[in-house]
Amino acid sequence: MINYKSLFASACLAFSLSGTVVVSAQAPQQQEANFERYGPFFFFPDKPELLIYTGQVGANDLLNLKKALRENPAVNTLILSNNPGGLVHIGLVIAEEVYERGMNTYIPPDSYCASACSFVFFAGKNRVADGRLGVHQISAPELSGEQAQFGVSDIVATLPKYGVSADVLGIMFSTPAKDMYYFSPQEVVKYGINRTGETQVASVQPVQPNSGNVTTPSHVSPAQAPQQAARPSDANANPQQQHNAPSAMPAMNDENKAMNVAALMIQTGSANNDDAMAFVNEYYADTVDYFKKRRPKAEILQDKNSYFSRWPVRRFVVDESSLKAKCENGLCAVYGLYDYTVSSPDRNKQSSGTSNFTYVLDLQDNYRIVHEDSEVVKR
């Protein structure tokens, strides 16, 4: 049984030692004496279970990580130290490596992990953010066109597998790429971002619909490296102290995955018109049963574009307690409720209320939508 309190205390100690990294990187003789370096990864022999990952996510990081783990097989925890992200596709493959190896991830106090680094954090079997965790929309200048769309598809297909809630994904995909959303300590608890043993990741559960209003945080911080990390209070955010709990990662079944994806699809409608249309283009099948009519994707794109143009300011919030799903024969039907507020400043018009929705997702086609219907139930 892993003692998580001791583990993360060791991580804090190793992180404090990593203050020598910058100096030692400029002084090879000290580097050899104090730690071993594998590109952006630093290994301290006196803390053989820990590996520090600092700096940007770069092209050779996966090779460096594999070499570090091959030469230091006792490593089971990756410390994410002042990592602003970088190459999206590299962040995703490193995350998958962390996930498949069952490694833990940790963001120390007074440190941060943002953008592509967040994928690596979420992949941790046990994960704790004592520092700052930042997310935003995918921005992958190294990818273009169809490649970039597959990058988005990979995120939607992968992060729910790591136990990331639809609320977190919604915040990620509604925050412009030029900005960064840093979760507060309260939100880390609210969204089940930390996970150690008994600590459960926030996830949707198949229960009866509930029309109660749900609100989501709206603050967005500039996309720059934070100077001071916000440390959770002892009362609200110390799940790492639950160290005697089982360490097995809770599995997500098809129904939970489908509910996460469906909720994300609703919430991405809050993005700007171009980004919202990019999601529509990616996540609808070539032919869809669309509001009781069989329609080609081109007509759906036209209809969605007209709606987004008519209501350029949009806010959609899914009531996750209302979500239900049933999967069979490679298809998942998802039902639920969401609150909406839309407006058109040019027309001086606004509308708000609650609507139900039904999606059918094709599991064999990356959860693409093959059926959609909805109806306003309250204005």
pLDDT tens digits, residue range 8-32? 555 555 555 444 443 333 334 444 4
pLDDT in tens, 160-218: 789 888 778 878 877 877 889 999 999 999 999 999 874 443 333 332 323 333 222 33
Domain(s) of CATH 3.10.450.50: residues in the chain:
255-378
Q: Which amino acid is present at 3?
A: N
List the one residue out of 325, 333, 338 whose CA is nearest residue 256: 325
CA 303 to chain centre: 29
Q: What is the DSSP string of 268-310?
A: GGGS-HHHHHHHHHHHEEEEEEETTEEEEHHHHHHHHHHHHHH
Q: Residue 22's pLDDT is what?
A: 38
CATH code matching the domain that covers 4-252, chosen among 2.40.110.10, 3.40.50.300, 1.10.3720.10, 3.90.226.10: 3.90.226.10
Average pLDDT estimate for 1-10? 51
Could you count the other beta carbons within 10 Å of the beta carbon of residue 266? 22
Across 337-355, b (16+ Cβ under 10 Å) vs e yields bbbbebbeeeeeeeeeebb
Of these ranges, 155-159, 207-211, 214-218, 303-307, the one predicted with the greatest mean pLDDT is 303-307
Cα gap 305→269, rounded to integer Å: 11
Categorise residue 228: left if φ over 0, alpha if ψ from -120 to 50, beta otherwise.
beta
Q: What topology is assigned to 255-378 in CATH?
A: Nuclear Transport Factor 2; Chain: A, (3.10.450)
Q: Count the residues in the chain.
A: 379
Cα gap 367→363, rounded to integer Å: 5
Average pLDDT estimate for 89-111? 95
In sequence order, what are the residues at sequence separation of 6 or more whose Cβ sits closer than 8 angstroms to the Cβ of residue 315?
270, 340, 341, 342
Instruction: List residues bridging with 36 in a β-sheet.
Output: 43
Q: What is the DSSP letter of 187?
A: H
The pLDDT-based confidence of 223 (bands split at 50, 70, 90) is very low
pTM over 0.75: no
Give the percent of the chain with pLDDT over 70.
72
Q: Residue 141's pLDDT is what?
A: 54
For helices 254-267 and 166-174, angle between their N-to-C axes, nearest 10 degrees: 30
Q: Residue 34's pLDDT is what?
A: 84
Q: Residue 252's pLDDT is what?
A: 56
The first and second tokens of residue 156, run together, are 């939607």
Domain(s) of CATH 3.90.226.10: residues in the chain:
4-252
CA 259 to chain centre: 15
The pLDDT-based confidence of 345 (bands split at 50, 70, 90) is very high
The first and second tokens of residue 137, run together, are 């929309």
